[in-house]
Amino acid sequence: MKIKLNKFLGFLILLNLIIILSCQKDYDKEKTSDFIKIKVVKVVDGDTVILENGEKLRYAGINTLERQTESGEVEPFAEEAYQLNKNLVEGKELYLELSFREKDIYGRLLGELYFENGTTVSEILVQKGLALVCYYPGNNKYYEKYLPLQKEALKQRKGIFSLIDRFPKNFPLVGNQNSKRFHLSDCKEVKKIKKKISFKNLEEAFLKGYCPSRECFKFRSNFFNSSHIGT
């Protein structure tokens, strides 16, 4: 009787193990089904590429500075971001994960490109200080993932953040808590902000995960010689 009971218990343990492994296999399958293997045919700039199906993909978790501006000037480290992005992905197959919000107002796909080892292109750009981690509706997953990497790049003064010390330590900025964008204190857009937060300087704003607003803060090279910069 004891032998039969042991055999029965052994059978139950084996059955449970099979069920657990089966569930794990289904989970892994479900997890990988969110990724689409796709080829990048062209890099547009540091955060935008063209895929083999003709769609433009904008990286959902970051923003790189502009290579093309209204004034014709290239923003600092925009070219470096473009070149690195190009070296990493152009002509290569990667894994695309679409963002919760799949397209932006310009019709571009929003998502992240992954390598086989699970690293994203955005991670590399952020680690080198060539991209800013910015909040967008639907991208909270990436925002929270990349923000610690940006803080480390800021601490080491890499890339864009090597410019931080050109600004005075007392450089008042006003942030919008809804959009997580910061503005110069004298920017006309500040009056429209309902939920404000004050920062004493650029470093504090970046550490809190805020990005410069497009309306009144430009990272063009001549900005660093403007009247906003103190001595």
Catalogue the active-site residues: 58, 66, 108
Q: How many CB atoms lie within 10 A of CB 130?
A: 27
The torsion of the CA quartet 107, 112, 115, 116, rounded to 10 degrees, works out to -100
Sheet holding 181-184, edge to edge: 196-199, 173-176, 181-184, 211-212
**In this structure, are residues 160 and 76 in contact, taking their beta carbons and an 8 Å threshold?**
yes
The torsion of the CA quartet 145, 171, 179, 197, rounded to 10 degrees, works out to 100
| DSSP character at residue 46 | S
Tell me which residue of 141, 131, 151, 204 sits closest to 174, measured CA to CA: 204
Q: How many CB atoms lie within 10 A of CB 33?
A: 8
In angstroms, rounded to a whole number, what is the distance separating the alpha carbons of residues 217 and 182?
8
Q: How many CB atoms lie within 10 A of CB 8?
A: 10
Tell me the one-letter amino acid at 19: I
Which tokens in the block code for residue 189? 């857009």
